């Protein structure tokens, strides 16, 4: 994974920093931001972020696009969509268009240059921040999560332009949710090809993530 220099904020209460309140900055985990770099959105492109809330990746993509283009940001829950809208307003971003929508049955009249498919997952890459995951997660959850991840990935892939880029990402290290999902997808979608992948292991600096980049032939 390539690295861009970021400003590291070492204090806790960045919400009250004047730069944050004035919309001069946003906060994001370093590993999460690397997913945005991996997507590599460009100005004037049309982007779909299909599991977007709380919106940090959508907003980071809009910033990298110089607020030029179009981003459809979906989330299943209305109250989480409002989080994206609130932060977009704070940052002065107006290219993000939110929808309370289940990505697995999303319908679009438009085709996209890039799609970010950051799916719900077991979350084993963020255990340092959310240790309660160990207590809540049971093996039966995988029976629901893995088919849901594949359903979202398979469905939204239909809206990608030829030569467009689709990035599938999770915040877990589980190969069944990561590499095996991509392998299964490519077996069943011959119009897609593998471009790249990256695994970021959790550390004191960042959470853990997996990401795979696919291109429509």
Catalytic machinery residues: 171
* Residue count of the chain: 217
- DSSP SS3 for 32: helix
**Quick one: angle between helices 139-156 and 179-188, nearest 10?**
40
Gap between the Cα atoms of 141 and 143, Å rounded: 5
Q: CA triplet 209, 77, 14: central angle to 5 degrees?
A: 55
| Burial degree of 96 (CB within 10 A; 0-12, 13-18, 19+) | buried
Nearest to 117 by CA among 35, 33, 201: 35
Phi, psi torsion values for 114, nearest 5 degrees: -145, 145
Which residues touch 107 (CB under 8 Å, ≥6 apart)?
none
């Amino acid at each position: 994974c390539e690295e861009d220099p970021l400003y590291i904020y070492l204090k806790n209460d960045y919400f009250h920093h004047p730069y944050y309140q004035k919309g001069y900055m946003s906060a994001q985990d370093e590993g999460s931001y690397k997913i945005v770099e991996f997507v590599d959105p460009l100005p004037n492109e049309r982007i779909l972020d299909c599991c977007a809330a709380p919106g940090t990746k959508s907003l980071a993509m809009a910033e990298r696009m110089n607020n030029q283009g179009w981003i459809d940001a979906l989330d299943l829950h209305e109250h989480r969509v409002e989080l994206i809208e609130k932060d977009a307003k704070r940052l002065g971003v107006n290219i993000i268009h939110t929808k309370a929508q289940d990505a697995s049955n999303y319908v679009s009249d438009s085709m996209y240059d890039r799609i970010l498919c950051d799916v719900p997952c077991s979350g084993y890459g963020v255990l340092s921040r959310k240790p309660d995951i160990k207590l809540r997660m049971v093996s039966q959850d995988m029976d629901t999560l893995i088919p849901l991840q594949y359903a979202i990935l398979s469905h939204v892939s239909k809206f990608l332009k030829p030569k467009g880029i689709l990035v599938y990402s999770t915040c877990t290290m589980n190969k069944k949710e990561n590499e095996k999902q991509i392998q299964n997808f490519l077996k069943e979608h011959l119009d897609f090809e593998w471009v790249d992948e990256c695994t970021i292991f959790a550390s004191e600096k960042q959470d853990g993530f997996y990401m795979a980049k696919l291109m429509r032939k």
